[in-house]
Amino acid sequence: MDAINWSDLSFGYMKTDANVRTHYSNGQWSTPEVETSEFLNIHMAATCLHYGQEAFEGMKAFRGKDNKIRVFRMRENALRLQRSCQGIMMAELPVELFEACIFKVIKENERFVPPYESGASLYIRPLLFGTSAQVGVKPAEEYTFLVFVTPVGPYFKEGFKPTPMAIMREYDRAAPLGTGTYKVGGNYAASMQSGVKAAKLGYSAVVYLDAKEKKYIDECGPANFFGIKDNTYITPKSPSILPSITNKSLIQLAEDMGMKVERRPVPVEELATFEEAGACGTAAVISPILRIDDLDAEKSYKFCKDGTPGPISKKLYDKLRAIQYGDEPDVHGWVTIVE
Ligand code: PLP
Ligand code: COI
């Protein structure tokens, strides 16, 4: 392969050596197989194509100074995929099988795990979808689980630098009793119009509000939201957001640092009181927010006065990355070393 410029990677797809697949039929998952093709051969009436019976995950592996490869919170991703499967009536994948597929795909693509010094990582994308032919709207009887990997750099090209985001009230991503809490493709389709519009206007992401009242912060495009004030980490509680594993980790780290944590509805006006704000997720890690423009209300909330990340966001970011790369002890048991 051509030499990869590891320090220059963006968040995109790169072909690697192999992916891993298992198929579900007659109530059973098959033994995982290694596949070198990047393509799928599926029935044109498959439920994933017509009715969005598809869920995915996003996780990362990191190469440490000791050259060991560490996967971050793999079990949490396996469990969230099971919840997504319940949410849209798909066959659930056992946790052990999920983990076996993840180990296999990493081993097969070991040479694509970026070196420690690059600050890049291996993004792991598991997906599960209905494959059997159906024209009536009902769940498939057969499913495929597939996992591929790709080396990545930062999701927002600025990396750990504050970027502006926007509130746009004419779009919703997910309804309170809908599928926002599951990681299903349809939610991302619902976010495309607003996402493209925001990018055209120079924003890195849309800050979605709760769809019912448009009063509270939901989340930031493909990441959860947090705000910091008075030594307190504040993050929205909402039935229409994805339970972010990064956010769950940051909550723990904030508590470890002696901060208070509040998970509760966050009214838009409260933005004016935050000293720092950020978006967090596997891809986003922590992406500090420079300012949030509320486009309909013609208001702007600023968080980084001099354009640099706030001290608490920086501390949380450094701590999280240190655990992920194995620079600091993994006291919470979040990391699995790929042997
Ligand atoms: N919210 C949405 C909509 C996402 O797509 C993601 C990414 O997975 C997150 C939040 C962050 O979740 P996690 O930290 O588990 O990656
Ligand atoms: C992730 O953070 O893993 C995501 O899934 C975000 C996005 C690229 C959809």
What's the pTM?
0.97
For residues 121 and 70, what is the distance between their CA atoms, to the nearest angstrom? Answer: 10
Residues flanking ligand 1, CB < 6 Å: 58, 219, 222-224, 242, 244-247, 281-282
Question: 175 near 182, Cβ under 8 Å?
Answer: no
For residues 181 and 179, what is the distance between their CA atoms, to the nearest angstrom? Answer: 5
310 lines ligand 2 (CB under 6 A): no
Q: How many CB atoms lie within 10 A of CB 255?
A: 12
CB hemisphere CA count around 118 (13 angstroms): 21
For residues 14 and 114, what is the distance between their CA atoms, to the nearest angstrom? Answer: 13
What is the reported pLDDT for 158? 75
Question: 160 near 222, Cβ under 8 Å?
Answer: no
Q: Which atom of ligand 1 is nearest to the CA of 80?
A: 15
Q: How far is the CA of 136 from the centre of ligand 2 (A)?
A: 31
Q: Which atom of ligand 2 is nearest to the CA of 281?
A: 2
- Name the closest-CA residue to atom 7, ligand 2: 222
Q: How far is the CA of 174 from the centre of ligand 1 (A)?
A: 14
326 lines ligand 2 (CB under 6 A): no
For residues 197 and 189, what is the distance between their CA atoms, to the nearest angstrom? Answer: 14
- Name the closest-CA residue to atom 5, ligand 2: 58
**Ligand with the closest atom to the CA of 76:** 1
CB hemisphere CA count around 277 (13 angstroms): 27
Q: How far is the CA of 229 from the centre of ligand 2 (A)?
A: 27
pLDDT (tens, 9 = 90+) of the chain, 339 residues, equals 668 999 899 999 999 999 999 999 999 999 999 999 999 999 999 999 999 999 999 999 999 999 999 999 999 999 999 999 999 999 999 999 999 999 999 999 999 999 999 999 999 999 999 999 999 999 999 999 999 999 999 887 777 899 999 999 999 999 999 999 999 999 999 999 999 999 999 999 999 999 999 999 999 999 999 999 999 999 999 999 999 999 999 999 999 999 999 999 999 999 999 999 999 999 999 999 999 999 999 999 999 878 899 999 999 999 999 999 999 999 999 999 998
Q: Which atom of ligand 2 is nearest to the CA of 56?
A: 5
What is the reported pLDDT for 1? 60
Alpha-carbon dihedral of residues 292, 293, 299, 302, nearest 10 degrees? 30
Q: How far is the CA of 101 from the centre of ligand 2 (A)?
A: 19
**Ligand with the closest atom to the CA of 179:** 1
